Chain A
Amino acid sequence: MKTARIEHILGIVLLSGVLSSAGFVLAGGAMYVARHGTERAHYRIFRGEPSDLRSLQGVLGDAREFSGRGIILLGLMFLVAVQIIRVGLTCLLFAWNRDRVFVMISLLVLVMLLYGILIEGR
């Protein structure tokens, strides 16, 4: 019963997460295209992103100033964050069922995920 309930919550979190992320991306995209739509696109050459668009603090700062690119990236980072919640909730589900081995397994996945996003990704 509890399993079914957590799976239900997991489904709702995933769906609302991806939809709100898409909402941010759409809003930011509309602003970006409205402001820069007539400029020439330079997507052919890889220059990497400017430093303010590579970190959460930078993106938050840009989004606060209503930069379209900043808001798009905020939506994308939120989508990644939802995946952390996905693993966290699965871990909780195993904990609820007193399934120690699988709590450890999902914690291991969670740690690697956080390592990739927070440590390597800095």
Chain B
Amino acid sequence: MTIINLTMLIFAGSLAAGVIGALTGLGGGVLLVPMLVLLFHINLRYAVGASLISVIATSSGAAAAYLREGYTNLRVGMFLQVSATAGALLGAIVAGHLRAGVIAVIFGLVLMYSAFLSFRRQEEVEPSGLPGPLAARLKMGSSYPVPGGWKSYYPCHSFAGFGIMLVAGTLSGLLGIGSGAVKVLAMDQVMRLPYKVSTTTSNFMIGITAAASAGIYFRDGFIDPGVTMPVMLGVFLGALVGAKLLMRIKTESLRLFFSLVILAMALEMIYSGLSGKL
């Protein structure tokens, strides 16, 4: 296929991945990499590199809007960023030494987990009223806007959250994804932060985490300008459109449908990885 045709196709696909990622809360990366690899036959390493860059772009664009709304907790974010950044460096270094097949299998497993999380959307955990000892010492409690005023909250189990972020960062560096699902899980379910605080703080962290891996990706030649250009522009635009649509349409059935799609992609990724097709 010629470069111009493939560029157009990749742009259209990335636009769709961006819209769906924003609507379902799955994020762009988990849909993007399997699409590029399985549908467009792009090399896995180029796909992962392009995804990592697009993750930085969407995180930066969304963080600008979220900061204004007052949900993002910068203290919690920066505290957890320490282990997430360390993990991202580790993941990116390891990625350069692993065979593409192995990365594909790990990617497939993470996809299955994302599908599972998305399928059974957790019920909102009641935010903790009492801070854990570390959270109290670091004054990580804050308040968030609710109808008719501000409600205060305190994180608990901060050490556990810190540990999970190491895993989230490593997956991000290894697979070029934002690991938003794991990050939100750590903050929402483990540290018992309000859901909106978790998602916006996770988004704030995603760009920084991905940037930590980016230097190593550039060095290892994972970032191909020809592939990354339509992906970055498509996902960024798609995420903007998705965020606007989100306020108007019901996403329940969409989410269920795409958890099945992701499950299918997960099996295909694992099969491709194991059969040495990549």
Contact = CB atoms under 8 A, between A and B. Distances in A.
Most buried by B among A45, A83, A108: A83
A73 B225 contact: yes
Contacts, number: 196
Contacts of A95: none
A4 B193 CA distance: 21
Contacts of B211: 80, 83-84, 113, 116-117
Contact of B208 (A38, A44, A105, A109): A109
B244 interface: no
B197 to A, nearest CB: 15
A25 B229 contact: yes
A76 B227 contact: no
Contacts of A21: 57
B64 A76 contact: no
A72 B229 contact: yes
B74 A72 contact: no
Contacts of B251: none
Nearest to B100: A46
Interface in A50-109: 53-55, 68-70, 72-73, 76-77, 79-80, 82-84, 86-87, 90, 93-94, 101-102, 105-106, 108-109
B233 A26 contact: yes
A102 B77 CA distance: 11
A73 to B, nearest CB: 5
Interface residues of A, number: 65
Contact of B2 (A37, A47, A87, A93): A37
Contact of A87 (B89, B208, B214, B236): B208
B229 A32 contact: yes
A83 B208 contact: yes
Given A28-B225, A44-B42, A105-B79, A11 B68 contact: yes
B89 A43 contact: no
Interface stretch (B3-11, B25-33, B174-182, B268-276): B3-11
Interface in B132-189: 138
| Size bracket, chain B contacts | 35 or more
Interface of B is mostly: helix
Interface of A is mostly: helix
Contacts of A113: 85, 208, 211-212
A2 interface: no
Contact of B6 (A41, A47, A94): A41
A22 B3 contact: no
B56 interface: yes
Interface of B: 1-4, 6-7, 40-46, 53, 56-57, 60-61, 63-65, 67-68, 74-75, 78-79, 81-82, 85-86, 88-89, 92-93, 100, 138, 207-208, 210-216, 218-221, 223-230, 232-233, 236
24 contacts: A14-B64, A17-B60, A18-B236, A22-B57, A25-B233, A32-B229, A33-B3, A33-B7, A39-B2, A41-B1, A41-B6, A43-B41, A54-B221, A69-B225, A69-B226, A73-B225, A94-B78, A102-B75, A102-B78, A105-B82, A112-B86, A113-B208, A116-B215, A117-B211
Given A11-B65, A76-B223, A112-B86, 19 more contacts: A8-B68, A12-B64, A22-B232, A22-B236, A25-B232, A28-B225, A36-B3, A37-B3, A53-B225, A54-B219, A54-B221, A70-B225, A76-B232, A83-B60, A90-B74, A109-B81, A113-B85, A116-B212, A117-B214
Nearest 5 CB-CB pairings of A with B: A121-B215, A48-B221, A37-B4, A83-B211, A117-B215
